Chains A and B, each alone.
Chain A
Amino acid sequence: MLWVTWRQFRPQAVVAAAALAAVAVTLAVTGPHLAALYQGSGLGGCTADCGSRVASFVSAVRGTPSEDIFYGGVLLVYALPALIGLFWGAPLITREIESGTFRLAWNQSVTRRRWVAAKLGLVGLAAMLTAGLLSLMVTWWASPLYQAAQQASQNSLSINRLSPPLFDATGIVPVGYAAAAFALGVMVGLLVRRTIVAMAITLAVFAAIQVLWPAFVRPHLLPPAHTVQHLDALTWNGVGDVHRGHLILQPGTLTGFSPGTWITGSQAVTVSGQPAVMSPPACESAMQFVACLDQHGIRMAVTYQPASRYWELQWLEAGLFLVLAGGLGGASYWRVRRLA
């Protein structure tokens, strides 16, 4: 079964290997330049007050091909699981069904379940390996950027590897995504039995997961931290307004957090901690609206995940998606016998 799976998987493996090699060459060639820029801006040994050097470095990268390579690499790692689900997962069984070769494959001395288990296991491993290698390469290449983000004096949101979408495209989470997308593709193919339809459904479902998960599930994977902050100009630069007495505060950018923090929510609160819904009447016509609110005790309650949680969240999320992949694989294993 090992040889059979390999022989049927060979064309896709060759394409993947070639693509990985091309990416590796591109990154290897351009990586040293980025590292040189990093050193050149004086960030190499900087431990304190690095803010201006970080700004220097970032603007030296902006507008150059390095920026494009960074976004391209991140986009590639982000899109890879979906592509794997589409081109490796969905056609796995549907190709055999549509071409009728399942009548050849499932009449050898190997039961359907063993056949599916072997394919799921071997190609699934290949998917995880590909995603892992790609993520490793891109993360290695971009390490000067991530380092610089850590050295910034405050939470520089543009390169924050804890917040989406960068979180999805760094570390080991892509391995879990690739496994889950692959298993999803196989399961959808088993249910739908037609390749193109299975590909479309797999894409739609997995894209929905990739969009909805960071917004609604990930902030709660680990209990977020809370803090209450003053509404002064240093803390946020948002917009405050009153509409028929209702207080409308839109936070804009929240500062004062250490670099790499992921802010998952913010809410205006009164002194007692209740949500601040109504504006204090005295402030409605005040010249300094925000300062007036501050005097009346209105604060900003912020929920966030601190930067130190990065690896914890990575392992947790990768593990959850691997469990999902296992579940989908098991469902395919059970269901393939009923394909009549």
Chain B
Amino acid sequence: MIWMSWRQFRPQAITAGAILVAVAIVLGITGAGLISDYNGAGLSSCHLSCGQDATNFQNSLKGSVYLVVFFAGIGVMYATPALIGLFWGAPLIARELETGTYRLAWNQSVSRGRWVLAKLGLGGLASVAVAGLLSLMVTWWASPISSVLIYSKSTSAVSSRLTPIMFAARGVAPLGYAAFAFALGVTLGMLLRRTLPAMALTLVLFAAAQLVMPAFVRPHLASPQHATAAYDPNRGGEMIISNGGRMVVVESASIPGAWILSDTTITPAGKVFTGPATSACAGASINSCDSWLAGRHLRQYVTYQPASRFWPLQWTELGIYLAVSAGLGGVCAWQIRRKRA
């Protein structure tokens, strides 16, 4: 059974191997250059006052090929589980059902359940291995940039590996995504019995899961922390005044490496500040508005996941996705017995 699964899986394994080698070569060559630039900027040995060096290094990355490879790496990490689900998962059983070869496979001396588990096991292991290798390579490559972003206290969407964009492209979570996408593809292929609809639905459901997870589930996987500070309009916050005087003021929070879940400005009573704007804010100069705001004694209230939560969240998410994958595998094994031949 193992030989048979391998023999049927061989073309995909060869393709995956070739792609991995190509990615390794590109990352290896550019990674070496990145590391030498990093050392050249004096960042490998500084521990305390790296700020300026870090900012310089960060600026030097803009417009360079390293930025392209950085985002390409993120793109590859996003695309890989989806492609695995589409091209490895969906056709696994659907092809056999469509072409009728299941009649050959299911009449050997191996029960259907064992047949499906063997295929799921081999494919699942391969998916996890591919995702793991890619994650390892991309994380290694990006480590100079990650440390620079921490030193320079940057607050962009890619500044912290905890933000949704980066979280899905680092660490061990992609292994769970790959296993899930694969299992999802196999299950849909078995239920829908046709390859193309299974592929399309796998793509849609997987994308939906990847959107729902960071938006609704991950923030609660560990209890978020809160921080409060006095709101200081002079620290360069933004404000919006809509028709009717409704006001929204916000000051961007700066907690290095954290994932900011919400950032609001609250009144002393604890409610979100909504104005209304007085005449002090209608004039041309911003100063009178600022002093009026200062008199309101507002506070900035930030809910966030601290940087130290990265690995706990990663392992938790991996566990969740692996459990779901195992569940889907069980559904497959159970359903396959009930399939009409």
Contact = CB atoms under 8 A, between A and B. Distances in A.
Are A and B direct contacts in the complex by CB distance below 8 Å? yes
Interface of A: 15, 36-37, 39-42, 55-57, 59-60, 63, 83, 87, 91, 95, 98, 195-196, 199-200, 203, 237-239, 241, 243, 250-253, 266
A238 B260 CA distance: 29
A252 B243 contact: no
Contacts, number: 71
Nearest to B215: A68
Nearest to A53: B240
A196 B57 CA distance: 44
B279 interface: no
- 9 nearest A-B residue pairs (beta carbon): A40-B242, A239-B60, A252-B59, A250-B60, A59-B238, A60-B240, A252-B62, A239-B56, A56-B238
A177 to B, nearest CB: 18
Contact of B60 (A36, A40, A98, A238): A238
Interface in B27-56: 40, 56
Interface string B186-200: 000000000110011
Given A15-B200, A56-B238, A60-B238, A40 B243 contact: yes
Contacts of B63: 238, 250-252, 266
Contacts of A15: 200
Bin chain B's interface residue count: 20 to 34
Contacts of A42: 241
A42 B284 CA distance: 12
Interface in B164-197: 195-196
B59 A238 contact: yes
B243 A39 contact: yes
Contacts of B243: 39-40
A56 B263 contact: no
Contacts of B248: 60
Given A59-B250, A91-B196, A253-B62, 10 more contacts: A37-B240, A40-B241, A60-B238, A87-B200, A98-B99, A195-B196, A203-B83, A237-B59, A238-B60, A243-B40
Nearest to B241: A40
A15 B15 CA distance: 30
In this complex, which of B56, B63, B243 has the most chain A Cβ atoms within 10 angstroms of its Cβ?
B63
B311 interface: no
B169 to A, nearest CB: 15
B323 interface: no
B91 interface: yes
B252 interface: yes
A56 B60 contact: no
A139 B224 CA distance: 36
A40 B249 CA distance: 13
B107 interface: no
A250 B57 CA distance: 10
A239 B57 contact: yes
B87 A200 contact: yes
Contact of B263 (A40, A63, A251, A266): A63
Interface in B219-261: 238-243, 248, 250, 252, 260
Contact of B59 (A37, A95, A239, A243): A239
In this complex, which of B57, B64, B196, B239 has the most chain A Cβ atoms within 10 angstroms of its Cβ?
B196
Contacts of B240: 37, 40-41, 56-57, 60
Contacts of A243: 40
Contacts of A241: 40
A128 B163 CA distance: 36
Contact of A252 (B60, B95, B241, B252): B60
5 contacts: A59-B252, A237-B59, A243-B40, A250-B60, A250-B63
A151 to B, nearest CB: 16
A85 B244 CA distance: 49
B167 to A, nearest CB: 15
A266 B56 CA distance: 18
